[in-house]
A and B are shown apart, each in its own frame.
Chain A
Amino acid sequence: QSALTQPASVSGSPGQSITISCSGTSNDVGSYNLVSWYQQHPGKAPKLMIYEVSKRPSGVSNRFSGSKSGNTASLTISGVQAEDEADYYCCSYAGSNTCVVFGGGTKLTVL
């Protein structure tokens, strides 16, 4: 069982916006602005899409955005495209004892 809780799957039609939630606790998501999001296509290494809750690395489309409220972080993809179909993982710092935790992953299907 993963430390952070994500929906197993989400879906959307091209052009729609989708949001993936990542529920943690006051020991991780709620205490640190060190939440990141990764995109993983089959057979590939994960790719950083969002870091420090809402920052985008250079080269990542501005269709991807992140936010946090309390113990829950969210990834929103605006105008979803076929190429966005992938698995998405949230990740959070969880203090000096636990270090880092991942969510269980969410499979995005573009209809």
Chain B
Amino acid sequence: QVQLQESGPGLVQPSQTLSLTCTVSGGSISSGGYYWSWIRQHPGQGLEWIGYIYYSGSTCYNPSLKNRVTISVDTSENQFSLKLSSVTAADTAVYYCARGGTVATPNYWGQGTLVTVSS
């Protein structure tokens, strides 16, 4: 059974870079055919797609975040990561990592991690 776990700072200063890592267990991140995604949920609000990286290395980012987002994979650690630069209070949210067999179909999710942007 594949499991995903987010990790990273729970508090980030405004204008700094938010960095989160998703550790994958129960399966290799380098095995083919999967989309590795980041999704966030502002407090009390709906889900927002941040972006994904395909096993081939190709990426696709939410246009509204594209200039600030980078998603990368570390196959040696069986992890993938999210970096979101120049954060503001509007980036405060629960961040989820997820894996899907097709695009727009994440079926394995991490438990989510709350990141607060505040000084």
Which A residues form the contact surface with B (CB < 8 A)? 2, 34-36, 38, 40, 45-48, 51-52, 57, 87, 89, 91-93, 96-105
- Asked whether, in the complex, the Cβ of B47 is within 8 Å of the Cβ of A89, the reply is yes
Q: Mark B40-70, 1 if CB is under 8 A from A, else 0.
A: 0000001111011000000011110000000
Alpha-carbon gap, A100 to B47, bound state (A): 11
Q: Give the nearest-CB partner of A32 in chain B.
A: B104
Please classify the interface of chain B as helix (H, G, I), strand (E, B), loop, or mixed, using the class held by over half of its residues.
Answer: strand
- Asked whether, in the complex, the Cβ of A51 is within 8 Å of the Cβ of B102, the reply is yes
27 CB contacts below 8 A, A to B, read A34-B102, A34-B103, A36-B104, A38-B47, A45-B96, A45-B112, A46-B96, A48-B105, A48-B106, A48-B107, A51-B107, A57-B107, A87-B46, A89-B46, A89-B47, A91-B47, A91-B104, A91-B105, A93-B103, A97-B63, A98-B62, A99-B49, A99-B61, A100-B37, A100-B60, A100-B103, A100-B104
Question: B60 — which chain A residues lie within 8 A by C-beta?
Answer: 96, 99-100
Q: Which of B47, B52, B63 contacts A46 (CB 8 A)?
A: B47
- Asked whether, in the complex, the Cβ of A52 is within 8 Å of the Cβ of B102, the reply is yes
Question: A45 — which chain B residues lie within 8 A by C-beta?
Answer: 96, 109-112
- Asked whether, in the complex, the Cβ of B105 is within 8 Å of the Cβ of A52, the reply is yes
Do A102 and B46 form a contact, CB below 8 Å, given A45-B96, A45-B110?
yes
Say how far A48's CB is from chain B's closest CB, in angstroms: 4
Count chain B CB atoms within 10 A of each CB in A36, A40, A96, A99 and give the residue with the most. A99
Question: A52 — which chain B residues lie within 8 A by C-beta?
Answer: 102, 105
Say how far B80's CB is from chain A's closest CB, in angstroms: 16
Say how far B17's CB is from chain A's closest CB, in angstroms: 22
Alpha-carbon gap, A104 to B46, bound state (A): 5
- Asked whether, in the complex, the Cβ of A92 is within 8 Å of the Cβ of B104, the reply is yes
Say how far A90's CB is from chain B's closest CB, in angstroms: 10
